[in-house]
Amino acid sequence: MPDFSRCILHSDLNNFYASVEMLRHPELREVPLAVCGSFEDRHGVVLAKNMLAKSAGVKTGEPFFQAKKKCPQLVSVPADFPAYLSVSQAVREIYARFTDRIEPFGIDECWLDVTGSRLLFGTGRQIAERIRLAVKNEIGVTVSVGVSFNKIFAKLGSDMKKPDAVTEITPENYKETAWKLPASDLLYVGNATARKLSVLGIATIGDLALKEEGVLTRELGKWGKLLHDYAAGEDRSPVALAGAGREIKSVGNSLTCYRDLTTEEDVHLLFLLLADSVAARLSEKKLGRAATVKISVTDSELNHFGKQGKPARPTRNAAVIASCAMALFRSVYPWEHPVRAVGIAVCDFAEAEQLTLFGDAEEEDKEDRLDAAVQRMREKYGNRVLQRATVLEDKRLAEMDIKGAHVIHPEGRRGDT
């Protein structure tokens, strides 16, 4: 049974990157606007857009030149992540007026547990409205807030009405409200999972909640039970205290290539670059060897695929990470379309004393010394001073410096913008 005693908010800053740019540049408020990534790397992929651009059909993730064909008046601005982080932090200071349980879900989204705040500030809806108005009046951007009795339904609520709105999913209305929505609207149900659910005759969140757990577990493993619980409103995961759990959980990097990738050789080149970046960050942070490798893949139609697995032994060696990533890629990617972007992350760090269980200590020591020598050369002369021979076959890739790996904390992904 669901736990109806809690009151959870999910706050989602609307069109965040574009909203910040319009805040900084008021002259852009009345024009279709796209915030773009590097034009050198992929002709400026659209990272975010304002409502005028959205109404013209502009989509996040498409190249700017394609978006420009749909909307000839479209104006682009380069992404300025320090500015977005500054605004995000200012908004979180508003959240902190109402609760200390603030769990980020990317730069533009947060969960807030206001269960214990209601005696001071009113009902969950009233708190949500106060937050919405404070963000709008004090910061100048808008936010959509979902109110519910768990994190999953609160997130669902914030997605239901945008921009600048509050939506409540209650113990009384969740079956009429949430259960009628497509199963793909549920958090963590991506395109691939939605297709599997469709084969099982599951079209809505209600269908998923009412499906026999055994069927879901048989077809989807442990993930099937978890999705069933989410759909049924039985998510009991807590909202973390603000600033809690900041230990590094995983390290990763991803890249949208300047061209579509059409062969395994293409993908392998990109994985090698990313694995070098990830291995360098492991060394910098003095983390243990990673026992798990995760990959993410986006195709040219913006379908997303992901898988995780374990190398033969825990590692921080770039070649081993890339090899494991390729094995995962081959097992999950159907090659229905070219590949647009890939990512690698590693986690489950093993301490040095654990490695004796896996043997090959001498081989690991050799790999560590070699990687350390390469890292010292790159730190002294630049990240491109030493490149793998295979990477040098593609001049554009060899010229890319993607050392800007990101460290992933428990808060997880960056949110949709």
- Interatomic CA distance for residues 121 and 98, integer angstroms: 8
- Interatomic CA distance for residues 310 and 295, integer angstroms: 12
Q: Is the distance from CB of 108 to CB of 83 less than 8 angstroms?
A: no
Residue 356's pLDDT is 38
Closest CA to 292 of 284, 282, 305: 282
- What are the pLDDT tens digits along the chain (417 aa)? 899 999 999 999 999 999 999 999 999 999 999 998 765 544 478 889 999 999 999 998 888 989 999 999 999 999 898 899 999 999 999 999 999 999 998 889 999 999 999 999 999 999 999 999 999 999 999 999 999 999 999 999 999 999 999 999 999 999 999 999 999 999 989 888 899 999 999 999 999 999 999 999 998 888 899 999 999 999 999 998 876 655 567 888 888 777 788 999 889 988 988 888 888 888 777 777 888 999 999 988 888 899 999 888 888 888 899 999 999 999 999 999 999 889 999 988 865 434 434 444 444 555 555 555 545 554 544 444 344 444 445 455 444 444 443 333 333 333 333
Residue 175: CB atoms within 10 Å? 15
Q: Is the distance from CB of 288 to CB of 352 less than 8 angstroms?
A: yes
- Interatomic CA distance for residues 320 and 303, integer angstroms: 27
- Interatomic CA distance for residues 163 and 144, integer angstroms: 6
Crossing angle between the packed helical segments 81-95 and 16-24, to the nearest 10 degrees: 100
Task: Compute CA distances 102 → 27, 235, 239, 241, whole Å.
Answer: 34, 17, 7, 6
Residue 362: CB atoms within 10 Å? 8
Beta bridge partners of 8: 113, 148
Q: Is the distance from CB of 147 to CB of 141 less than 8 angstroms?
A: no
- Interatomic CA distance for residues 292 and 307, integer angstroms: 11
The reply to whether 109 belongs to the active site is: yes
Q: Is the distance from CB of 186 to CB of 205 less than 8 angstroms?
A: yes
Burial class of residue 247 in the structure, from the number of CB atoms within 10 Å of its CB (0-12 exposed, 13-18 middle, 19+ buried): exposed
Burial class of residue 265 in the structure, from the number of CB atoms within 10 Å of its CB (0-12 exposed, 13-18 middle, 19+ buried): exposed
Beta bridge partners of 111: 10, 103
- Interatomic CA distance for residues 319 and 364, integer angstroms: 12
Q: Find the catalytic residue in 21, 62, 103, 109.
A: 109
* Type of residue found at 247: E
Q: Is the distance from CB of 329 to CB of 271 less than 8 angstroms?
A: yes
The pTM for the full model equals: 0.66
- Interatomic CA distance for residues 225 and 185, integer angstroms: 17
Among positive and negative, which fits the CA dihedral 36, 40, 41, 43? positive
Domains of the chain: 1-178 (3.30.70.270), 179-244 (1.10.150.20), 250-408 (3.30.1490.100)
- Interatomic CA distance for residues 218 and 310, integer angstroms: 22
Beta-sheet pairing, 166-168 with 143-148: parallel
Closest CA to 155 of 205, 215, 212: 205
3-state secondary structure (DSSP) of residue 250: strand
